């Protein structure tokens, strides 16, 4: 008899606990304080819908921002390549003769392998000329892996004046 009473009492306490949890869920369901979820992918390109935006600190992929004159800030020093823990970055440089007749290193290709990147941000943080940044792009699915190997400096781009 004693165990039967305990059994019934356990059922009641289980139901009470369930209702307590459901009360919290129900409260948020009918009167949410702030809606933080996004209707993706519906809000991707649709006109009239709020455009999907990631938060400021989101790390989508490493990029090399260029000015409107197609200039970047990379001096091809190789620090980002040395600091990257995964071998994600490869900096290929060339030696040019400057206006003063001296040899000067210049960027040929800044290669970034997105599939290997762990988004640790070491490259972005340690670049002495702040040539790298993170974009907000997050749709990285591709059918061909080669598309994940990116050259960050744009064709024909040059070093921004004043960056040494
Ligand atoms: S991105 Fe920055 S750290 Fe990397 S090679 Fe260019 S200047 Fe150096
Ligand atoms: S974020 Fe980290 S893993 Fe990715 S390229 Fe930069 S240093 Fe390498």
- Could you list the mean pLDDT of each consecutive 10-residue stretch along the chain, which spans 164 residues? 88 94 87 78 68 84 97 97 97 89 92 97 97 93 96 96 86
How many A from CA of 119 to the centre of ligand 2? 5
Question: Which ligand 1 atom minimizes the distance to the CA of 64?
Answer: 1
Question: Which ligand 2 atom minimizes the distance to the CA of 124?
Answer: 6
Nearest ligand to the C-alpha atom of residue 127:
1
Nearest ligand to the C-alpha atom of residue 110:
1
State the pLDDT at residue 49. Answer: 59
Q: Is 152 in the pocket of ligand 1 (CB under 6 A)?
A: no
Query: Which of 63, 71, 74 is the pocket-test mutation for ligand 1 (most atoms within 8 Å of CB)?
Result: 74
Q: Going by DSSP bridges, is the β-strand pair 61-63/71-72 parallel, antiparallel, or unpaired?
A: unpaired
State the pLDDT at residue 28. Answer: 83
- The domain defined by 61-159 folds into Alpha-Beta Plaits (3.30.70)
How many A from CA of 30 to the centre of ligand 2? 43
106 within 8 A of 94, measured Cβ to Cβ: yes
Q: Where are the domains of the chain?
A: 61-159
Nearest ligand to the C-alpha atom of residue 84:
2
Residue owning tokens 């938060």: 55
Q: Convert the pLDDT of each residue in 53-101 to its tens digit.
A: 788 889 999 999 999 999 999 999 999 999 999 999 999 999 988 778 8
Rounded (5°) CA angle 57-61-65:
90
d(CA 9, CA 121): 55
DSSP 8-state secondary structure symbol assigned to residue 89:
E
Reported as type and span, the H/E element at residue 112 is strand 103-113
């Amino acid at each position: 008899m004693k165990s039967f009473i305990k059994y019934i009492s356990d059922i009641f306490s289980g139901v009470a606990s369930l209702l307590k949890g459901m009360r919290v869920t129900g409260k948020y369901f009918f009167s949410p304080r702030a809606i933080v979820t996004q209707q993706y992918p519906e809000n991707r390109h649709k006109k009239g819908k709020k455009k999907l935006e990631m938060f400021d600190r989101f790390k989508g992929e490493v990029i090399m921002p260029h000015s409107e004159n197609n200039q970047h800030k990379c001096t091809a020093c190789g620090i980002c390549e040395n600091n990257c823990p995964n071998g994600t970055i490869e900096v290929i440089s060339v030696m040019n003769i400057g206006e003063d007749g001296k040899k000067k290193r210049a960027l040929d290709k800044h290669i970034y392998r997105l599939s290997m990147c762990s988004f640790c941000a070491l490259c972005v943080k340690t670049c002495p000329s702040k040539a790298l940044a993170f974009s907000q792009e997050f749709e990285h699915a591709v059918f061909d892996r080669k598309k994940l190997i990116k050259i960050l400096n744009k064709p024909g781009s040059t070093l921004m004046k004043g960056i040494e």
